Amino acid sequence: GQQLNQSPQSMFIQEGEDVSMNCTSSSIFNTWLWYKQDPGEGPVLLIALYKAGELTSNGRLTAQFGITRKDSFLNISASIPSDVGIYFCAGRSGSARQLTFGSGTQLTVLP
Amino acid sequence: KAGVTQTPRYLIKTRGQQVTLSCSPISGHRSVSWYQQTPGQGLQFLFEYFSETQRNKGNFPGRFSGRQFSNSRSEMNVSTLELGDSALYLCASSLDYGGSYEQYFGPGTRLTVT
């Protein structure tokens, strides 16, 4: 089946620093979604990408759909304490309807 | 517009019992997907419903089943519960089946099997 490798698994950063995380797939994807999950809650959709090379921002968050269509990146600028949580990438390839999720990046922001 | 709601939020059951979880999608959304989330396996797709029909199914045993009603609300059922079924069960809704793939998640139901 489809595999998504998300890295890093965890990150510890100082407040104010920029953060970057990525996902790579073994197959070509047509859709990339990025979610954030807080403890005890469901994932919240942050950004959706539908075209290779697409760069989309949502406030301090910026995500890109890789031109090879096998990867995606999420950047968070000037991190703040409320950025703490688990970030998931999700993708869809070919004619598949269901999303495949990465294993998540646990982000900790230190004061 | 209200988000996806799931009931109950927490549930404790014993092995061998069965359980039914409920999901109400965002108003106007017609597609509902279910996922199981565990620390070891991450987010695993269970099934998707659209127009009261199961359109897609993940790799889970037949003990896991679901249905969708005419108002798009969905339920999932797990019979003969096993300890390994302990997980956060997430429901996600999207506008339709053939178009947007943006899925919006509910808060989940935390199921503990003892």
CA distance B42 to B37: 5
Of B58, B97, B108, the CB nearest to A42: B108
Q: How much is the average pLDDT of A49-72? A: 96
Question: Cβ contacts of residue B22 below 8 Å, gap of 6+?
Answer: B6, B7, B73, B74, B75
Predicted confidence (pLDDT) at residue B1 exceeds the cutoff of 70 = no
CA distance B86 to B84: 5
User: How close, in Å, is residue B96 to chain A by CA atoms?
Assistant: 11
- Percentage of chain A exceeding pLDDT 70: 98
pLDDT given for residue A84 in this prediction: 97
Q: What is the pLDDT of residues B53-79, one digit of tens each?
A: 999 899 999 999 999 999 999 999 999
Q: Which among B45, B89, B101 is the top mutation candidate for probing chain A, defined by the most A β-carbons within 10 Å of its own β-carbon?
A: B101
Predicted confidence (pLDDT) at residue A63 exceeds the cutoff of 90 = yes
Residue tagged 């109950």 (tokens):
B8
pLDDT given for residue B97 in this prediction: 73
Q: Give residue B100's pLDDT band: very low, low, confident or very high (50, 70, 90).
A: low
Predicted confidence (pLDDT) at residue A54 exceeds the cutoff of 60 = yes
What are the backbone dihedrals phi and psi of residue A81, each rounded to the nearest 5 degrees, phi first?
-55, -35
Question: Do A35 and B105 lie within an 8 Å CB cutoff?
Answer: yes
pLDDT given for residue B79 in this prediction: 96
User: In Å, how far from its chain's centre is CA B19?
Assistant: 12
Residue A13 tokens read as 């950063």
pLDDT given for residue A74 in this prediction: 98
Predicted confidence (pLDDT) at residue B99 exceeds the cutoff of 60 = no
